A and B are shown apart, each in its own frame.
Chain A
Amino acid sequence: MSHRPFDSVPSDDPLFNRILSTLDIAVFERDEPSGGFRLQGLAPEWWCARVGPEASTVLDLEQWSPFLRDYVAADHSVWASESGPVEKSGPWTESDGQGGTMTLEATVLSMESRTVLLIERLGAGFEQMRSIVQRARERMLAEDVTVKSHRKTETRLINQLEVSERTKDDALALLQHLGLAALVLDERGCITFASDRARQLLGASTGEVIGREWGEVIPFHQQDRTIFRETINAPSDSRTAGPFYIDSAQPTWVEVDIHRDPRHPGRQIVVVNDRTELHTLRRALSEQASFHDLVGKSPAMLRVYQLVRDVASVDTTVLIEGETGTGKELIARAIHSTSGRRERPFIAANCAGLTDSILTSQLFGHKRGAFTGAVNDQQGLFEAAEGGTLFLDEIGDVPQPVQTALLRVLQEKEITRLGESRPRKVDVRVLAATHHNLSEDVVRGSFRADLLYRIRIARIRLPTLRERREDIPLLAHSFLMTICAATGKTIDRLSPETLHRLMSYVWPGNVRELRSAIEFAVISCKGTEVSPDDLPPEIVGTPAVPTLAPWIPLQGGDEKSRLLAALSDAKGNRTEAAKRLGVSRATFYRRLVELDIPPR
């Protein structure tokens, strides 16, 4: 290349100088002998502002940033070879001499033996580039902050989860410790939690409960299932339902409290309460009420109830046998009110201790003037009970002539009033009761055999209270409740010791005596619980030996009939009879002899 551009550029060319100055470029040429750089042509404004108008045109590197000195001092390959690449300094910052800064960039060019240094002040183009880079970096920083805050939130959530897991564990431990039976159901009715006690109550073992729908797990009966579902779906926050029967290995009655989880309204907390005991008691009480006024669920009494139902449907005479106080009249009433005659009258007559004529007049009525004091015509109890039931208590005490009259009524279904001769038709069902052994009375000749057979078409023997001790708690509670209700006292239970005493006493007066004892206790009782001290002295005095009740001597005929009843109950086995009465065999034999009861 023969053309040399530097030669053709006159340093004092006014146009050329103006162009460079307008482009903010200062041009220096190396002064070979000194090695210093001398300004060529017009100086740009920034140079003047920085070095001052009077300054020399020689570049004093010490006044500028070491960055420029290093650049100029560097071993620029272009200085040696003409064809090498141009290496610019890159931008650097300088004070602008007016309190601010400016960005400069330098270029060294070496041609032939001449070296030129160009220094350019970077302007708008550079600023634009800078602001783009700045924005990009700011965006990266902002993104970094976002990512970090996300990560922080995540960590916080994980921590919170950990804390709540721990809280849950604590609550769980507490729940298990309290033996609380609790379930948690989710929105779909699936079990998400079940405490040990709940699993046990529901008859479900571990593992097969969680995640399953309650309907699959809880062995409710169909109608309970429906009620439970309705209760769950009910809108209120707390609901109670039950009792429900759970058909598991250990049949259980439960009640449930259902609470809406306050933090997750879709979730339900179900607390299951074992109500088996309560339910049994309730059921026993309701069964008692359902069977008229009879209380008891012992096998002996259940047999009695069945007999009552059986005889009620047929219109026969029934003989009700049982010790005094066993509730013979209640049985008679039960038969009446279960029978087709229930809409008609029930009349009870006690035949004990009445004279021949009084009893006859009472039963059959009389004509005016039939006897002294018979001032009016009077209908008897048979006529009064027309269409209904006449209950003759203590039939064994009926005098012989009345027995004959009774037999005729039962056979002919008609009565004749005292003093009249014309018989009257009656439609009355007769129920008779006795505490005697009528068979023995027949043997002894005090009771007509034909009458016995007539009234004993059906027979119900009531067990003594001793024979159904298991009914004592139920009876005692039932009496306690009725008596309290009547007297306005608030006694809600019998102490275990009291119950124990009641169960071990021999109860010669049977249920009637028990009722009196409870009446006595309610009057004596000062608190809310009946203690043994509140019971009548004869009961408290009894040593509490449940298996062998002590011998309480009864008076005269009463004791005799009890001995006979025991013998007949034991089918003549005296050892068994003595056991039933709670006396020793020796005592039993002695009493048999003393009371003149012949060995059979």
Chain B
Amino acid sequence: MIQKKICMLGGFAVGKTSLVRRFVTNVFSDQYHTTIGVTVEKKTVAIKDHEVMLMLWDLYGEDEFQKVRDSYLRGSSAYIVVMDGTRRGTLDTALALQQTAARTLGSVPFVSIINKADLQTEWEIDEGAIEQLRARGWTVLFGSAKLGQGVEELFRNITTQIMHGSPLPTERL
């Protein structure tokens, strides 16, 4: 079975772990348990008769205490950039991380998601900012790990992009 490495990138507490856990085990916890090490979760998905084993690298959040090591990114087929809609600052972190990823991995597919859609009334990331991201060529999805909204779609979207790109892996090198 094909295995694909996907990194979860984003500032701390944006919901990377929550998204992965919701996707893999369909559970959610309101408790914040900061991730310091790397946890790799696996889940098999089927895209048009093809089964793919996704290896989801839940990296710790980038902040002043921890910097993501470039080496963790190597070998990724794609990555997911997560932002917290209620914190404007997580968008800046996302931009920086995406640049690091692009430098390390080249133009592998990635999608971004603005998490915590259940708290939309408190969002600080507004339409204008989202438009700017899209203008940079970003795919911007919305979701809530808490409610399970947009989670399946997130992983399905990135997997589809990987599968479309996989017949021609050399092109990306």
Contact = CB atoms under 8 A, between A and B. Distances in A.
A90 B5 contact: no
B108 to A, nearest CB: 16
Given A66-B5, A70-B75, A134 B34 contact: yes
Given A66-B5, A137-B13, A91 B34 contact: no
B40 A67 contact: yes
Contacts of B128: none
A93 B63 contact: no
Contacts of A93: 37-40
Given A70-B75, A92-B39, A92-B40, A137 B122 contact: no
A129 B124 CA distance: 31
Nearest to B34: A134
B163 interface: no
Contacts, number: 59
Contacts of A67: 38, 40, 57
Contacts of B36: 91, 103, 126, 129-130, 133
A183 to B, nearest CB: 43
B33 interface: yes
Most A-side CB within 10 Å, residue of B40, B75, B86, B89: B40
A70 B75 CA distance: 9
Interface in A301-318: none
Contacts of B66: 133
A188 to B, nearest CB: 43
A92 B65 CA distance: 17
Contact of B87 (A92, A101, A144): A144
Interface string A107-128: 0000000000000001000100
A67 B58 CA distance: 11
A133 B37 contact: no
List of 7 A-B pairs having minimum Cβ-Cβ separation, nearest first: A91-B37, A93-B39, A134-B34, A92-B38, A92-B37, A103-B37, A65-B40
Contacts of A92: 37-40
B141 interface: no
24 contacts: A65-B40, A66-B5, A66-B40, A67-B40, A90-B37, A91-B36, A91-B38, A92-B40, A101-B39, A103-B37, A122-B37, A126-B36, A133-B34, A133-B36, A133-B66, A134-B32, A134-B33, A134-B34, A136-B65, A137-B34, A141-B13, A141-B32, A148-B86, A148-B124
A66 B61 CA distance: 20
Contacts of B110: none
A130 B40 contact: no
B144 to A, nearest CB: 18
B132 to A, nearest CB: 22
Interface in A75-117: 90-93, 101, 103
Most A-side CB within 10 Å, residue of B37, B38, B122: B37
Interface in B1-19: 3, 5, 12-13
B156 interface: no
A140 B75 CA distance: 33
Interface of A: 65-67, 70, 74, 90-93, 101, 103, 122, 126, 129-130, 133-134, 136-138, 140-141, 144, 148
B65 to A, nearest CB: 5
Given A93-B38, A133-B34, A70 B74 contact: yes
Given A67-B38, A137-B12, 13 more contacts: A67-B40, A67-B57, A74-B71, A90-B72, A92-B39, A101-B39, A122-B37, A130-B36, A133-B36, A134-B34, A137-B13, A138-B32, A141-B13
A148 B69 contact: no
A119 to B, nearest CB: 13
Interface string B113-151: 000000000101000000000000000000000000000
Contacts of B72: 90
A65 B72 CA distance: 13
Contacts of B69: 90
B59 to A, nearest CB: 10
A350 B66 CA distance: 125
A91 B63 CA distance: 17
Contacts of A137: 12-13, 32, 34, 61, 63, 65
A159 to B, nearest CB: 15
A144 to B, nearest CB: 6
A551 to B, nearest CB: 91
Interface string B30-66: 0011101111100000000000000101000101011
Contacts of A103: 36-37
A130 B32 CA distance: 13
A66 B37 contact: no
A122 B38 CA distance: 13
B122 A90 contact: no
Given A65-B40, A67-B40, A74-B71, A130 B13 contact: no
B56 to A, nearest CB: 10
Contacts of B12: 137
A92 B57 CA distance: 10
Contacts of B87: 144
